[in-house]
Structure 1
């Protein structure tokens, strides 16, 4: 599996990276991986959704089930908020619990003032998760896209971001490219008068949570907002629980845009449980297993010369690969009982790209056997 850029991409003006204004071809910003499997019925091997397999663990299911006896009472998030704050070594006032990280994007979009001049428009760094841009546009913002160049492995170059942007949104590690940007590159985007939003939904799948800005969320110039999700590592997509880390004033401003009792009692119980020391140790072990399983997946995919990684060092629980006939390959894999995520709904990508979730070795071997049957080797 090659890592150098394919020839046709060099002719694509997007390969140069930088601002796109107007932003280029339309993309379905509301398409997500669950659409690949939602109506497929039982038996489809899911490599399209990035939730860790075999989750939630039994002990977490028991904690959630135990909370059901409290459903007659309104949710009380104080204990969960304290747990999250303690987990990150921050004051409670720096934590806002949300109904998944996706709610946080909506809150931010509503709280950010609409730019009164062209230079101040919010920037979304692509390719990345598309909900931040969708939420900003729904709230009336005129969004500018900065597309990271394919030839550089979609790595962040702070110099591509317009100096006057009042808000910048970037993922780390980034979905779908699996690039883990250095914390120093992210910090270079912080400045007075700017809100820097870093989506760290997958950072707990990185051993040691390397490059996280959570420890410095209140120490950088301007306003820094870090978003976290408990969905991916703990298998809680259906429960909807995440949180925001920022300075107290920003947290209070975002909270004013929430409805009353935005997070359910079962979700609060899960947040508190997942911040306990034993849970954090389990998450770290899971991150290390994921790294080993990802290396195995990379090695097996390297057997197919027509597949090419987006980045030589993927660090998230998924890999992004290109293939000249990706759209056809995706449908043929589906016929083999395997779902993978299309890449062309992400700004900055086109129909050559597919995202594949990291699974255990037996699952990867099943994928490889399907690729062999399809004549890729």
Structure 2
């Protein structure tokens, strides 16, 4: 199984599974911006490497100040972490909810973090009949059963934003709410959807952001959270010292200044998302509308194909896709692919076309 450790992008497991070098795979299983990293990252790695003999700033001051300026929130409301994963774990350990409401399907690390603290999960269904958009009645049913909501905004793996009426209901519910905005950078007019500013003064709302997806620096591990200053101090007290290394701090501060990279990234996604969605639909796949840089799809039941079969066949071709059936709430027909550059996306479409034809023929079916 490619997702042996619960994530996409595991090129080491792909190498072991399919017997080809890691650098020979075209990876659609992890959702990184194909335009990144920004050029300043290369420059920093060349020029700043000698400074690794110094300790990093324990308060991550430069990066926090720049984040505060960019998002117009108080610097005391920001905590930087070793990727969003660390902040998810820290939040669960500090809040220690008894019952947490999770949308299904959603990012597995929410549940893992809650289980570590001994908490229970309340499942909130995301239904294919509603194109996986969270519904008002399901949120209302959950409010009386949970003391914390932990939701993706946009959600992974569906790529759907929380509707505004749902956000309002959550904020009015009196329950604590953690929103994972790891992919919010990719959303057009993100300032209209993000809850960062509100989180900086609210005692019931926490927003977590990743910097690795949009800036394509997953190997650096960098994320931040915004919450009321009192809560930030409480969570910071549980954070391991020197959690954010020197290079991560420098790179994070530098990429925030590259406005041209941001504009180019959003323009690329606007164009390529439409093209790839159309191509997937032309293959006969059912595609979930997405706001971000990945697409959830399913093989029609009539084909009798599973994503595990497709993942194996495409992996042998050197193309990696995500087995989305591993997300609770999705069946064996669901897969997820990142949106990459056109040349790569063309290879993906051709690989899927061949895979569907071969697997269908093996079952004695035809694919028009």
TM-score category, normalised to shorter length: 0.7 to 0.9
Match of 1:289 in 2: 268
How many residue pairs align between the two structures?
A: 339
Match of 1:39 in 2: 14
Residue 183 and residue 82 in structure 1: after superposition, are their counterparts in 2 closer, same or farther (change >3 A)?
Answer: farther
From 155, 161, 165, give the equivalent of 2:133.
155
- Matched residues in 2 for 1:29 and 1:339: separation? 14
From 202, 209, 214, give the equivalent of 2:196.
214
Q: TM-score, normalised by structure 2?
A: 0.87
- Matched residues in 1 for 2:11 and 2:324: separation? 12
Point out where structure 1 has 5 or more consecutive residues left out of the alignment: 1-27, 116-120
Match of 2:116 in 1: 138
Deviation at 1:59, TM superposition (A): 1.7
Whether the aligned pair in 2 keeps the contact of 1:29 and 1:346 (CA below 8 Å) is: no
Whether the aligned pair in 2 keeps the contact of 1:36 and 1:341 (CA below 8 Å) is: no
* Larger CA deviation: 139-148 vs 258-267: 139-148
- Matched residues in 2 for 1:29 and 1:35: separation? 8
Q: Deviations over 1:247-286 (max 9, x none)?
A: 111111111110112100101111211222xx24422320
Residue 250 and residue 191 in structure 1: after superposition, are their counterparts in 2 closer, same or farther (change >3 A)?
Answer: farther
Whether the aligned pair in 1 keeps the contact of 2:88 and 2:110 (CA below 8 Å) is: yes
Whether the aligned pair in 2 keeps the contact of 1:36 and 1:339 (CA below 8 Å) is: no
* Larger CA deviation: 136-145 vs 208-217: 208-217
- Matched residues in 1 for 2:249 and 2:45: separation? 9
Match of 2:360 in 1: none
- Matched residues in 2 for 1:111 and 1:44: separation? 40
- Matched residues in 2 for 1:299 and 1:37: separation? 32
- Matched residues in 2 for 1:367 and 1:148: separation? 27
Deviation at 1:216, TM superposition (A): 2.1
Whether the aligned pair in 1 keeps the contact of 2:159 and 2:296 (CA below 8 Å) is: yes
| 3-state DSSP of counterpart to 2:9 | helix
1:1-377 → structure 2 map (5 Å cutoff):
30-35=5-10, 38-40=13-15, 41=21, 42-76=23-57, 77-115=60-98, 121-161=99-139, 162-164=142-144, 165-191=146-172, 193-209=174-190, 210-218=192-200, 222-276=203-257, 279-305=258-284, 307-309=285-287, 311=288, 313-323=289-299, 324=301, 325=305, 326-374=307-355, 375=357, 376-377=367-368
Q: TM-score, normalised by structure 1?
A: 0.85
- Matched residues in 2 for 1:264 and 1:183: separation? 37
- Matched residues in 2 for 1:282 and 1:136: separation? 36
Whether the aligned pair in 1 keeps the contact of 2:97 and 2:148 (CA below 8 Å) is: no
Residue 105 and residue 30 in structure 1: after superposition, are their counterparts in 2 closer, same or farther (change >3 A)?
Answer: farther
Residue 29 and residue 189 in structure 1: after superposition, are their counterparts in 2 closer, same or farther (change >3 A)?
Answer: farther
Residue 301 and residue 266 in structure 1: after superposition, are their counterparts in 2 closer, same or farther (change >3 A)?
Answer: same
Whether the aligned pair in 2 keeps the contact of 1:207 and 1:284 (CA below 8 Å) is: no
Deviation at 1:337, TM superposition (A): 1.7
Deviation at 1:30, TM superposition (A): 5.0
